[in-house]
């Protein structure tokens, strides 16, 4: 049985200048495909609140839901490292509450790490996890759980605000995170942060200067055809293909050509 990537592989990939490939996953079947495609990390992101559950934000997602989806992703994968987002509302509370939640994630889902959104204000909380050997993936910049504070999904770290994002990333590294997601910040800033940090940076809407890239799988496959942010590249027209395939099925059911003999059982 092949073994999974571990936290030790990510600094090595950065040192070897081999870009880290990360994709979100939420279920068994997709996790299997992504794992077979050779991604390094499967992130069970709370973006599932938007692309799976149909909410406008990630805020309604619960810890139980994150654990449920992560269990399926772990079952579907063999090689990729699996990280699970801690949902909105936990890191507003005491480190003990977050620790309790992270322990549940690791124990019940089989994930190897939790992802925590936020910078300086959550650094102590991250430290409470990492000093107890719970690996943490940080996430700074346009952190979707702060959507209301940001007044929408808006690029962060422009102009004078760049220093704050840099300070956040440094605080996350100092708190012991093994890697950090940089989301929705100018490309020059993520280049600077990636050069400054010893841990790898994984970008989404942060330009090419990061040590790796992550995309939401439904965006990458063109299955989510709502708003397409500038940073999304669709590698296939998934929604067109699905409509075509299901339209074809509907036509065959209606004209009686499905199921054929080959799909039917003899006596």
Contacting residues toward ligand KIV, per CB under 6 A: 24, 43, 45-47, 58, 85, 139, 181, 183, 204, 214, 216
- Of residues 96 and 138, the one with the C-beta less far from ligand KIV: 138
Using CB positions, name the residue nearest to ligand KIV. Answer: 45
Name which of 3 and 140 has its Cβ closer to ligand KIV: 140
- Alpha-carbon distance of 231 to 216, in angstroms, equals 11
Q: How far is the CB of 258 from ligand KIV (least distance, A)?
A: 36
- The nearest distance, CB 188 to ligand KIV, in angstroms, is 20
Cα separation, 100 vs 213, whole angstroms: 30
CA angle 237, 41, 33 (to 5 degrees): 45
Q: How far, CA to CA in Å, does 157 sit from each of 209, 257, 261?
A: 15, 57, 62
Write out the catalytic residue numbers.
183
User: Which is closer to ligand KIV, CB of 58 or CB of 127?
Assistant: 58
Give the DSSP H/E element, type plus range, for residue 163: helix 162-174
Q: What distance in Å separates the CA atoms of residue 227 and residue 107, rounded to the nearest whole number?
A: 36
**Least distance in angstroms from the C-beta of 107 to ligand KIV:** 22
Work out how close the CB of 190 gets to ligand KIV at its nearest, in angstroms, rounded to a whole number: 13
Structure tokens at 186: 């100018």
CA distance 120 to 255: 62
* CA nearest to 142, candidates 85, 209, 206: 206
Of the pair 175, 216, the CB lying nearest ligand KIV is at: 216
Helix, strand, coil % in the chain, rounded to nearest 5? 45, 15, 40
Q: How far is the CB of 166 from ligand KIV (least distance, A)?
A: 19
Q: Of 145, 132, 138, which is closest to residue 99 (Cα–Cα)?
A: 132
The dihedrals phi and psi of 147, each to the nearest 5 degrees, come to -55, -40
Cβ nearer to ligand KIV, comparing 76 with 256: 76
């Amino acid at each position: 049985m092949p073994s999974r990537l571990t936290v030790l592989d990510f600094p090595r990939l950065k040192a070897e200048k081999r870009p880290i490939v990360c994709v979100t996953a939420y279920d068994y079947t997709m996790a299997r495909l992504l794992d077979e495609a050779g991604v390094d990390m499967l992130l069970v992101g709370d973006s599932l609140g938007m692309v799976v559950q149909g909410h406008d934000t990630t805020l309604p997602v619960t810890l139980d839901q994150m654990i449920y989806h992560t269990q399926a992703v772990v079952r579907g994968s063999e090689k990729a490292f699996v990280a699970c987002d801690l949902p909105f509302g936990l890191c507003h509370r005491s480190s003990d509450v977050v620790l309790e939640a992270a322990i549940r994630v690791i124990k019940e889902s089989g994930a190897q790490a939790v992802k925590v959104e936020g910078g300086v204000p959550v650094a102590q909380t991250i430290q409470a996890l990492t000093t107890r050997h719970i690996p943490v993936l940080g996430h700074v910049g346009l952190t979707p759980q702060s959507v209301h504070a940001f007044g929408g999904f808006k690029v962060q770290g422009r102009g004078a605000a760049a220093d704050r994002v840099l300070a956040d990333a440094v605080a996350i590294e100092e708190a012991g995170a093994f890697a950090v997601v940089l989301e929705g910040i100018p490309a020059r800033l993520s280049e600077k942060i990636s050069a400054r940090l010893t841990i790898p940076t994984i970008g989404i809407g942060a330009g090419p200067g990061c040590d790796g890239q992550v995309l939401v799988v439904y965006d990458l496959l063109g299955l989510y055809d709502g708003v397409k942010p500038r940073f999304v590249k669709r590698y296939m027209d998934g929604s067109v293909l699905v409509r075509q395939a299901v339209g074809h099925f509907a036509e065959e059911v209606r004209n009686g050509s499905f199921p054929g003999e080959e799909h039917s059982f003899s006596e």
